[in-house]
Chains A and B, each alone.
Chain A
């Protein structure tokens, strides 16, 4: 929740990705503080635009909202966006770990650069908030500071690469912009009660384990998994926005000591599965942790192992498997400094609650 003392009735805020998870949360929170919103959305035609506008307005509630047809991957579309916004929050991105190189380049990096140019044209702009990811650190091991990062030795997938390249472009070519970078961790649940309104690679992997479709998981037992709750992300980003301290990087995540590890995530998740009678009855065993080479053999030979479901199951893990072997230690001192009430969720409690809800909802979104 944003600080209730922060009134933003004078702010005109452009938010990309408002139909996505983080963008929507930010739009809703900012609307409550009186901000006027400009929300670009993809639309095939006027009818489609009207439909998406109605959907967004219904979910966002009352307030000043302007929904504009715009594919931010098309520079000519971006040029038509208003240039009188005081804040731009760029949260739109293709977040699939298996995104192809050219799609990541076009939709993540190049689209962002178009928006940076929009920011440059916006003379009243006070803040350009770029919503990045902790995975922009790529295959960096050890301490990851809240700073612009030198190019990592490698990236596990093109999503990571495109996010780092975007950060790099922002820092090197748009230093005149009042930018702030927020690197967000993987959202596990909406809040500490385990409610969820989006599913990502973590949820999909848990689902496969629940149905007994994978009995091996790649990973080093001790590697931390950086998870966050949606309400923490919202609060952290708004706190960073309110700090008015520009050209800074914030890690919207918790520290390693506050995070689950690959092993504890498996242990807690499996224990939660066992509280479900159906799962218990099927006798599904806890998955075995395997090294990267074993997982590569499985992924490489999957056509001889199984059918479409198994191929999809293993295939969904391939694009991020390597990260489960890289120990990172994300610093979040700067974020803590702007969040006096910073508090890490107890994921050993959130995860079972999330799993119970996903089982109740048959692994679907409400």
Chain B
């Protein structure tokens, strides 16, 4: 049995905190202010002009750079595929040379942090679920490659300048996250992963996305629980994405988990950092004295594609 552990979770936010009132006023959203407030959103973080998602990735990795000496692989995920390329479209148009479309941030990150021994993997078609997808991919690598020591998982996104900062009725934030997966028993032991993709809904509108949310989320959670040999009653915490908390009021009732165990303290002050919410909230949970060794935590995400992913971890 190969045990894999998640450790050193870290994150970085966009350059500026912007109140929901300001963003509604400045046309960064569609939904009305009151609905956002009722959903729990108060502010979000927006990257400054010129800040690339890669810059946010570097900022997220910076606090944990002392722990990367044994990293053999980097899994770099983005929600938006355009954040997986640092080349400029205009340069491509001018030269017709596709190398401008092959300028990968993971390569730059490897070089920046001196991780020459680490190979690179890009992951950019799982939307908000990418960070959980990176855990699933990396865990699979540990099972397949006995010599693999550690994997650095990074997820980074920023919305293009001028974009609406709203998706499926949620307030979006720019940001990045990073953590290390290792065989060393520290941090959180990974108990199971589960993923579902329904490609037939690849172009689902917001209504369809929300319409399919509950039963698919329930299904992926059941799958993760089953893979871990657990039932929902064994879960001590649920660390969800920063989306409308009323959804989790309902899901927690369906699953039979007390709502006060749904842990998303960053929702109001951070917003929905499309693929990094789980990590932002997990960092907060790590600092919460109520978290005990042996506690089992469900990380859960839904995203475009449509994708649903869940990971169950256990506090060491």
Contact = CB atoms under 8 A, between A and B. Distances in A.
Interface of A: 211-216, 281-288, 290-291, 293-294, 297-298, 300-301, 303-307, 309-310, 313
A316 to B, nearest CB: 14
Contacts of A213: 207-208, 211
Contacts of A297: 246, 249-250, 253
A301 B39 contact: yes
Contacts of A306: 169, 206-207, 210-211
Contacts of A283: 198, 200-201
Interface residues of B, number: 30
A211 to B, nearest CB: 8
Q: 8 closest A-B pairs (Cβ-Cβ)?
A: A301-B246, A304-B39, A285-B215, A215-B215, A215-B214, A213-B211, A283-B198, A304-B35
A77 B169 CA distance: 50
A310 B211 contact: yes
Nearest to B31: A304
9 contacts: A214-B211, A282-B200, A285-B212, A287-B215, A303-B34, A304-B36, A304-B38, A304-B169, A305-B247
Contacts of B35: 303-304
A212 B246 contact: no
B134 interface: no
Contact of A288 (B201, B215, B246, B247): B215
Nearest to B199: A283
Given A297-B246, A297-B249, A282 B207 contact: no
B200 A290 contact: no
B175 to A, nearest CB: 22
Contacts of B31: 304
B213 interface: yes
B104 interface: no
Given A304-B31, A305-B244, A215 B212 contact: yes
Contact of B215 (A216, A298, A301): A216
B216 to A, nearest CB: 6
A308 to B, nearest CB: 8
A305 B215 contact: no
A285 B244 CA distance: 21
A310 B200 contact: no
A282 B205 CA distance: 13
B308 to A, nearest CB: 10
Residue in B34, B198, B207, B249 with the greatest tally of chain A CB atoms within 10 Å = B207
A334 to B, nearest CB: 42
A223 B82 CA distance: 51
B210 to A, nearest CB: 5
Given A216-B214, A285-B216, A303 B38 contact: yes
Given A304-B31, A304-B244, A304-B246, A288 B38 contact: no
Contact of A286 (B169, B215, B244): B215
A215 B213 CA distance: 7
A305 B208 contact: no
B207 A310 contact: yes
B219 interface: yes
Contacts of B283: none
Contacts of B244: 301, 304-305
B240 to A, nearest CB: 15
Contacts of B34: 303
B254 interface: yes
Interface in B29-45: 31-32, 34-36, 38-39
A212 B254 contact: no
B210 A305 contact: yes
Contact of A290 (B211, B213, B246, B254): B254
Contacts of A286: 215
Contacts of A288: 214-215, 218, 254
Residue in B36, B198, B246, B254 with the greatest tally of chain A CB atoms within 10 Å = B246
Contacts of A216: 214-215, 250, 254
Interface string B10-36: 000000000000000000000110111
Contact of A293 (B200, B211, B253): B253
Nearest to B217: A215
Given A294-B253, A303-B35, A304-B38, A285 B219 contact: yes
A309 to B, nearest CB: 5
A212 B253 contact: no
B207 A309 contact: yes
Given A212-B201, A290-B214, A293-B253, 16 more contacts: A213-B207, A213-B208, A215-B216, A216-B215, A282-B201, A288-B218, A290-B253, A294-B253, A297-B250, A301-B38, A303-B38, A304-B31, A304-B244, A305-B246, A307-B207, A310-B207
B62 to A, nearest CB: 35
Interface in B103-118: none
A214 B214 CA distance: 9
Nearest to B248: A297
Given A214-B211, A301-B246, A306-B207, A294 B38 contact: no
Nearest to A302: B246
A291 B249 CA distance: 12
A310 B36 CA distance: 17
Contacts of A284: 212
A184 to B, nearest CB: 32
Contacts of A307: 169, 206-207
Contacts of A305: 169, 210, 244, 246-247
A293 B38 CA distance: 18
Contacts of B206: 306-307
A283 B216 CA distance: 10
Residue in B210, B211, B215, B253 with the greatest tally of chain A CB atoms within 10 Å = B211
Contacts of A301: 38-39, 244, 246, 249
A303 B200 CA distance: 26
Contacts of B36: 304
Contacts of A290: 214, 250, 253-254
